[in-house]
Amino acid sequence: MTTALSTGSITRRGLFGAMGAAGGLALLQNAVADEKNPAGQVSDSASSIRITELQTHRVQHKVYVELRTNQKISGWGEVSALQPGAAEELTKALFELLDGENPTRIEHLWQKLYRAHRDMRGGPFMCHSIAGIDMALWDITGKLWGVPVYRLLGGPCRDKIRVYPTSKAHKVPPHGIYGHTGNPDEIDRMVKAIKTARERVGPDGFVMFDAHCAVPPATLIQLAAAIKAFDVMFLEEVAVPGNIEVFKRLKAAIDIPLATGERDRTIWEFLPYLHERAVDILQPDVAHCGGITQMNKIAVLAEAYHVPLAPHCTTSPLGATASLSVGASIPFLVIHETAPGNLQWGEQFMNRPWAVDDATSYATLPEGPGLGVRIDVEKMKKVAADPKYKWNWPKIALPDGSVADY
């Protein structure tokens, strides 16, 4: 039996039939309109590019990743702070997940790598290796579109980037490895070093202290009380990561801003610091935290808590440029680290597409498409072949022979 929808002659079946005909007509009209719509005619020039090869280059303590594509565009990344033999083999193995993929699908590929194996998710070896690949993906994408990476991240938020070390910005090391307490002479040694740094940079300069996880919490509290007069910008790596309660204890006892993050990876490891209000400044390292993709997310997460970044960075020019690219594009940035020794080492076989004005402590924004770093493979091979170099495990111990943090 047919049920009428109204007193008229239209039935339910008839109405659906009429709706179907109208829908078909609307689709046809939309298709015709799309032919005349300029937005509908935009082609994606990146749609056909594919990853064809991953080449690793082991150079002393570093592993460099070269991703090649079917469009003759290559991207480079840097794997840092890992045992290089293991890092190289893991990076090679990850190519199975990248072969034939579109390198401009950066977020998708990051997720694919990170979540590929439920028992190898996270951790330094996976995240540092992914970081090198991630840098290479951003490098390819920037080169494909002919723009610096920071343009792909939303464009620059600043015209220049404050960096250290310079004549106006200096970070003081812990000047030793300490036990579970600090003697007066040990505290005095650190105080004198901080005082000297303040005198060196002047009242308008910047002084930071890197505890490097080598100064025990109780000693650090004593030290903080003794250096208030020197206006330290922040205390870095005040505790070994892993127990947020230690950071909370230090935050409650110390008036100087606390900074940490170089040994933390991904947004999930940074979140507890923010949620518990345990630090004032985050220090992700682009080569440790999971690459440009994760460092950018960490910056956004921190912004929601009004916490700025002071990125840790001890890489060669390639990794440093990746980090500075993120630093250029984020709104909350205090200062950015560089490592002159590693920069000079890398400049044996690559350019550095930015410069530092030592008198002002500002670096220029990176220049060139992608990361703007060009690598001379032949020169790289010569550095890699240095017979005098051998990678060794650090052997850090206290006077009694027990293992020490550093």
Gap between the Cα atoms of 189 and 175, Å rounded: 7
The segment(s) of the chain belonging to CATH 3.20.20.120 are: 152-384
Report whether pLDDT(1) > 90.
no
Whole-number pLDDT of residue 4: 43
For the segment 68-82, what is each residue's pLDDT rounded down to a tens digit? 999 999 999 999 999
pLDDT tens-digit profile of 130-183?
A: 999 999 999 999 999 999 999 999 999 999 999 999 999 999 999 999 988 889
Give the global pTM: 0.88
What's the CA gap between 182 and 178, in Å, rounded? 7
Mean of pLDDT over the chain: 92
**Which residue type is seen at 81?**
A
What tens digit of pLDDT does each residue of 2-40 get?
Answer: 444 444 445 555 544 554 555 555 554 555 555 566 555
Confidence (pLDDT) at 330: 98
Mean pLDDT throughout 197-204?
Answer: 97
* Residues of the chain above pLDDT 70, percent: 89
Inter-residue contact 193 to 175 (CB < 8 Å): yes
CB 207 within 8 A of CB 172: yes
Classified by CATH at the fold level, domain 51-146 comes out as Enolase-like; domain 1 (3.30.390)
Residue-wise pLDDT for 359-388, tens only, equals 999 999 999 999 999 999 999 999 999 999
| pLDDT surpassing 90 at residue 186 | yes
Domain with CATH 3.30.390.10 in the chain: 51-146
Q: Would you call 398 helix, strand, or coil by DSSP?
A: coil
Contacts by residues 185-188 (CB-CB < 8 Å, ≥ 24 positions apart)? 186/219, 187/219, 187/222, 187/223, 187/226
Provide mean pLDDT across the span 187-200.
Answer: 98
DSSP assigned state of 3: P
Q: CATH assignment of 152-384? A: 3.20.20.120
Would you say residue 398 has pLDDT above 90?
yes
Which phi and psi (to 5°) does residue 319 adopt?
-65, -35
**What per-residue confidence (pLDDT) applies to 117?**
96
- Greatest Cα-to-Cα distance within the chain, rounded to the nearest angstrom: 101
21 burial level (CB within 10 Å; 0-12, 13-18, 19+): exposed
| Sheet strand arrangement including 235-236 | 169-172, 206-210, 235-236, 258-260, 281-282
CB–CB of 133/91 below 8 Å?
yes
